[in-house]
Chain A
Amino acid sequence: DAMVIQNPRYQVTQFGKPVTLSCSQTLNHNVMYWYQQKSSQAPKLLFHYYDKDFNNEADTPDNFQSRRPNTSFCFLDIRSPGLGDAAMYLCATSRDPARGYTFGSGTRLTVV
């Protein structure tokens, strides 16, 4: 089945230790998004790629970076995770944003 796959499902990292979360898609969608979701709140958009064009949200901390080496893969890098960065990180893709997004199952990040 075509889908959005996030690895790992659970990630534990140490305070200040860089961590990378990955997302892959078989939908061939040109738009990919990274969201942060805390404590059953609504997902919060961090940034998105329209093809190779990177679009950062104004309030996304510099601590968060992203890479999209090709259409299928997108990575979220957290350079120095703090305790406040513990959250569920969701990847989503879209062919036409006006028609809706497909979400992955998420990676739950714990910072110790």
Chain B
Amino acid sequence: GQQLNQSPQSMFIQEGEDVSMNCTSSSIFNTWLWYKQDPGEGPVLLIALYKAGELTSNGRLTAQFGITRKDSFLNISASIPSDVGIYFCAGTGKAAGNKLTFGGGTRVLVKP
């Protein structure tokens, strides 16, 4: 079945830093979604991308839908402590019956 490879698995951030994470797929997706999940909560949609090449921002977050339709990245600029959490990429595509396929998640932690 379709798989999404998300990297890095975890990262430490220092306040003010820019951070980046990405997802790649072995097959084409029609939609890329980026979610953030705080401990004990459900995932919250951050950014949705619907067209190849699309670049979309939501405040300090920017995400792009790769031209090949097999990848996407998420950037967080000027990180703040509340950016800590788990970020999941997810995609839908015809090959998976339009069901949501998740990446393994990127755990963002604050540098001690």
Known A40-B86, A41-B105, A42-B88: A101·B41 in contact at CB below 8 Å: no
**B43 pairs with A103, CB closer than 8 A:** yes
Known A101-B100, A103-B43, A106-B41: A42·B105 in contact at CB below 8 Å: yes
Q: B100 — which chain A residues lie within 8 A by C-beta?
A: 33, 45, 92, 97, 101
Minimal beta-carbon separation of B6 from chain A (angstroms): 9
Chain B residue nearest in CB terms to A103: B42
**B102 pairs with A43, CB closer than 8 A:** yes
Minimal beta-carbon separation of A92 from chain B (angstroms): 8
B contacts with A, residue count (CB < 8 A) = 23
- Pick the residue among A40, A97, A103 that contacts B99 (CB under 8 A): A97
B27 contacts the other chain (CB 8 A): no
- Pick the residue among B43, B45, B92, B98 that contacts A43 (CB under 8 A): B43
Minimal beta-carbon separation of A2 from chain B (angstroms): 14
Which residues 42-97 of A sit at the B interface, judged by CB distance below 8 A?
Answer: 42-43, 45, 48, 88, 90, 92, 97
**A97 pairs with B40, CB closer than 8 A:** no
B24 contacts the other chain (CB 8 A): no
Minimal beta-carbon separation of B68 from chain A (angstroms): 18
Q: Kindly list 7 other residue pairs between chains A and B, CB separation below 8 angstroms, not including A45-B99, A92-B100.
A: A40-B86, A42-B103, A45-B100, A98-B92, A98-B98, A100-B48, A103-B43
A-side interface residues toward B, CB under 8 Å? 4, 6, 33, 40-43, 45, 48, 88, 90, 92, 97-106, 108
